[in-house]
Structure 1
């Protein structure tokens, strides 16, 4: 790989992927809509070319992908836009990859797997039962039928610097600002939260291996952890004393009356009641040990990033 394009570079996994590529000495173009966000994140890195554009504008995408060997797709659309935009977005990226004759490395989630009572392996038949899971599977099939060389990586819910739309970061933002905080889901149930910098390491490692292409890869977190354990660690790191309230499914339904984003969260709450846990056996066997930052260390890094973000505005 000589030159990479990261789509969604201002988001959690996009940012982490850019930073991992920099570490490996790979030239990278960071693509997102907001030029100001890109400048704030990457202006200090001469090895990063900033490109602000609209991924739905074919000309913007074609220009950005010129002379690139690989496209990292880390765009995370807001839930309300999935139905109208997820598949067209995927088709635009496929088209750009074909024009540039570039490979494609995709950041995907666990929704297409649907419910599962055992560790999820890559060979498991995908039977999504939610609207979002079905859309994810449709986008995946578009990629697999495109003729583009691809790596599709399935991750659990993220947390980390700039991962703004994740459940755990939703809690951390309020904690750092010393506001009343909320935790989404049953805090007694253990589920996976993947540190973005670990996810990026695994993603980039796969993208550098020719034999990883044409396959799906599951990248689990270091281990499942309960909300209660996370809240305890967060309090230890921040000395946060205020109450952490629990967002139940019924509360989301109520909030959804007034807020479509909250309404769209409701159908995904099965993950907080019957967690989907990924098996990393395939990655470990083919590639080696998975990156596994301890939760307390990952939380500390994320909290520090929020402190820098908030204090810089004061």
Structure 2
């Protein structure tokens, strides 16, 4: 892979992918609608070409994909827009890949697996999504598999890391960094997975560099499942956080959802805070090697530092 396109380059995982690709000497096209944020993030990156555009406009995506070997699909949309925009976006990506004979690497989550009784979910586990958003993600996966385009589908747990602002853990960290009372979404005693975005990007780029990893699903787990209580302990010990942390329950989100469409859409995904899907990394480890696993204490510290730098107006330097 000599050149890659990252769609959604202004988001958390998109940012980590651009950085990882550039660090490996790959020429990168960073694409998203936010021109100002793209410049803030990448204006000092010599391997990165900034192209503002709309992932739902075919000519924009096709133009950005000119000459690339792999298109990384890291575009996210607000929950209320998923049903309308995700199917359209995947079509734009497929058309661009066919036009330029490029491969596709899809950043996926765990929604398509639905409720699972397995201790760890592997790539052969049957996907039976019971939520609207899980069904949308499975439809995206099936569209890629039926497209004839060589594709990677990479399942990741909840994300956290520099620039990863539309995540559950960010809801906690955004107030921690300002030393205000923070919220934690879900039961503090339930162990869940949160993957550091730079670990996810390392694993995904490694897969994208290998010809024999395409036309497969890959699960990339986190360092290990962790409870909210353990995360709070890290914040106390490593970040010196002394304020209280409120627990946000499903009942609270359902009530807020009466007034806010985003929170209303979030209710159906709260099952993941009660009965988490835990990913197995055995396939990756057997074929590729060790899964990148940044300790939570280190990952959280790096994320908080990035957030502090952003508040000071120089977040692109981190």
Q: TM-score, normalised by structure 1?
A: 0.98
Could you say which residue in structure 2 is the equivalent of 1:230?
A: 231
1:80 aligns with 2:77: no
Could you say which residue in structure 2 is the equivalent of 1:293?
A: 294
Q: Secondary structure at the match of 1:225?
A: coil
Q: Secondary structure at the match of 2:94?
A: helix
Q: CA deviation at 1:237?
A: 2.5
Q: CA deviation at 1:312?
A: 2.2
1:125 aligns with 2:126: yes
1:87-102 alignment runs, 5 A limit: 87-102=87-102
1:62 aligns with 2:62: yes
Task: Name stretches of at least 5 consecutive residues in structure 2 with no aligned partner.
Answer: none
Q: Which runs of 4+ in 1 moved over 3 A?
A: none
Q: CA deviation at 1:256?
A: 0.4
CA deviation profile, 1:185-232 (whole Å, cap 9, x unmatched): 001010100000000000000001111000000000010000000011
Q: Secondary structure at the match of 1:269?
A: helix
CA distance in 2, matches of 1:116, 1:207: 28
Could you say which residue in structure 1 is the equivalent of 2:12?
A: 12
CA distance in 1, matches of 2:203, 2:28: 17
CA distance in 2, matches of 1:25, 1:222: 26
CA deviation profile, 1:9-34 (whole Å, cap 9, x unmatched): 01111000001001110000100100
CA distance in 1, matches of 2:161, 2:238: 15
CA distance in 1, matches of 2:313, 2:27: 28
Q: Secondary structure at the match of 1:191?
A: coil
Q: TM-score, normalised by structure 2?
A: 0.97
Could you say which residue in structure 2 is the equivalent of 1:213?
A: 214
CA distance in 1, matches of 2:267, 2:50: 36
CA distance in 1, matches of 2:160, 2:231: 12
Q: Secondary structure at the match of 1:189?
A: coil
Could you say which residue in structure 2 is the equivalent of 1:252?
A: 253
1:26 aligns with 2:35: no
Q: CA deviation at 1:240?
A: 1.7
Q: Secondary structure at the match of 1:14?
A: helix
CA distance in 1, matches of 2:230, 2:117: 22
Q: CA deviation at 1:235?
A: 2.0
CA distance in 2, matches of 1:129, 1:27: 40
Q: Secondary structure at the match of 1:194?
A: strand
CA distance in 1, matches of 2:313, 2:89: 34
CA deviation profile, 1:247-299 (whole Å, cap 9, x unmatched): 00000001101111111110001110011000000000000000000000000
Q: CA deviation at 1:5?
A: 0.3
CA distance in 2, matches of 1:269, 1:198: 25
Task: Name stretches of at least 5 consecutive residues in structure 1 with no aligned partner.
Answer: none
The alignment yields a C-alpha RMSD, in angstroms, of: 0.8
Q: Secondary structure at the match of 1:117?
A: coil
CA distance in 1, matches of 2:63, 2:270: 39
Q: CA deviation at 1:178?
A: 1.8
Could you say which residue in structure 2 is the equivalent of 1:164?
A: 165
1:308 aligns with 2:309: yes
Could you say which residue in structure 2 is the equivalent of 1:41?
A: 41
Q: CA deviation at 1:238?
A: 2.3
CA distance in 1, matches of 2:15, 2:146: 28
Could you say which residue in structure 2 is the equivalent of 1:197?
A: 198
Count of residues paired in the alignment: 313
Q: CA deviation at 1:311?
A: 2.2
Q: Secondary structure at the match of 1:72?
A: strand
CA distance in 1, matches of 2:65, 2:23: 21
